[in-house]
């Protein structure tokens, strides 16, 4: 699942992930993504940190509460050391600064799904 308030970013990420063979859901806010989780099998997330309303750090915490085995990545155009620390505390797997190469996000998704596959086998 991709959560970003910028439609161009959501569309670009969705096309890249679909091109790599992934099924993608997109939301424009934390609130919309929480609603989508009720009917979604999503387990890998790419969250913008600077969302309107509920921010990406709070959303990460909410997702981990509902789905503790999720792998969640932060993607932001506003980086600072405090945010990096805060992201690690919230449970993000990694932190990407925009603009980010799409190939890096696809590699991150591959890593996340391989990790989840290993977890399920145990």
Q: How far is CA 103 from the centre of its chain?
A: 15
Q: Indicate the number of domains in the chain.
A: 1
Q: What is the largest CA-CA distance in the chain?
A: 39
122 pLDDT band, cuts 50/70/90, is: low
Confidence of residue 34 (pLDDT cuts 50, 70, 90): very high
pLDDT tens-digit map of 53-80: 999 999 999 999 999 999 999 999 877 7
Do the beta carbons of residue 71 and residue 94 sit within 8 Å? no
- CATH number for 19: 3.40.50.2300
- Residue 29 neighbours by CB under 8 Å, 6+ apart: 3, 5, 51, 52, 53, 54
81 pLDDT above the threshold of 60: no
Residue 103: Cβ within 10 Å count: 10
Q: Quick one: pLDDT band at residue 91, thresholds 50, 70, 90?
A: very high
Range(s) of the domain holding residue 116: 2-121
Query: What's the pTM value of the predicted model, to 2 decimals?
Result: 0.95
Q: Which residues contact 88 (CB under 8 A, 6 or more apart)?
A: none
* Average pLDDT of the residues of the chain: 94
């Amino acid at each position: 699942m991709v959560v970003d308030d910028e439609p161009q970013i959501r569309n670009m990420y969705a096309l890249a992930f679909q091109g790599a063979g992934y099924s993608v859901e997109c939301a424009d806010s934390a609130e919309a993504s929480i609603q989508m989780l009720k009917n979604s099998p999503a387990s890998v997330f790419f969250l913008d940190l600077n969302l309107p309303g509920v921010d990406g750090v709070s959303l990460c915490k909410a997702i981990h509460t509902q789905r503790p085995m999720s792998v969640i990545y932060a993607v932001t155009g506003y980086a600072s050391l405090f945010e990096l620390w805060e992201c690690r505390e919230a449970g993000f797997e990694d932190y990407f600064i925009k603009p980010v190469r799409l190939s890096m996000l696809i590699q991150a998704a591959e890593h996340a799904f391989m990790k989840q596959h290993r977890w399920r086998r145990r």
